[in-house]
């Protein structure tokens, strides 16, 4: 608060009040450069300098591949044509193959559960048929898992450690499958 001399005339006091009102406006002088920049941006917003700019209200296009270094142009071309770098495509392929193999196994497990929980016990021909289907599915599943481990090794050798994937424990997965879907016992072969 400023000292006001009562002896001054009222005209001089009005001029002093106008100056005080001007200084009390949106000016927010700060202590460092960032505050000065914020003040400039605020004043431009008040003036309406940012109104009707192209792209107003839309998300920014932040396609910055500066971290890619020499590969930035090639990544941009791949991305614009709907492709990804080889290591990303390989990781996606591993995920889809694993999901496909799990889906096939779930189908066999469902068949096992349906045969075991129905009211009428399964016939010997159904037991034999299921044992053959389960054996083939298990062999195919194991082969798929070993192939996926080879792809995971290729991926881990060609990518940074942040993108590495764990190897699949094939024996553990096979034990889990046989525990969830055991073969039928006492299947007699037709003579």
pLDDT of residue 98: 96
Mean per-residue pLDDT of the chain: 83
pLDDT band at 153 (very low <50, low <70, confident <90, very high): very high
pLDDT band at 11 (very low <50, low <70, confident <90, very high): low
| Domain boundaries defined on the chain | 9-50, 86-180
| CA-based radius of gyration for the chain | 37
DSSP 34-73: HHHHHHHHHHHHHHTTTTT-TTTTS-------GGGGGGHH
24 token code pair: 């009390």
Sign of the alpha-carbon torsion through 88, 90, 93, 97: negative
**41, 55, 72, 78, 113 from 58: Cα distances, Å:** 19, 5, 25, 25, 53
Q: What is the pLDDT of residues 129-149, one digit of tens each?
A: 999 999 999 999 999 999 999
């Amino acid at each position: 608060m400023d000292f006001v001399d009562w002896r001054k005339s009222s005209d001089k006091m009005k001029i002093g009040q106008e100056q005080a009102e001007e200084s009390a406006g949106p000016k927010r002088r700060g202590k460092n450069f960032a505050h000065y920049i914020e003040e400039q941006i605020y004043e431009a917003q008040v003036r309406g300098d940012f109104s009707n700019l192209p792209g107003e209200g839309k998300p920014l296009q932040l396609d910055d591949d500066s971290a890619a270094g020499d590969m930035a142009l090639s990544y941009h071309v791949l991305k614009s044509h709907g492709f990804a770098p080889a290591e990303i495509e390989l990781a996606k392929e591993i995920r889809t193959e694993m999901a496909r193999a799990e889906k096939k196994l779930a189908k066999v497990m469902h068949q096992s559960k349906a045969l075991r929980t129905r009211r009428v016990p399964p016939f010997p021909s159904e037991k034999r048929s299921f044992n053959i289907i389960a054996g083939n599915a298990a062999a195919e599943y194991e082969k798929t898992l070993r192939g996926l481990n080879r792809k995971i090794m290729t991926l881990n050798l060609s990518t940074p450690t942040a993108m590495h994937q764990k190897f699949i424990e094939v024996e553990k997965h096979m034990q889990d499958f046989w525990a969830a879907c055991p073969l039928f016992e006492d299947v007699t072969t037709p003579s």
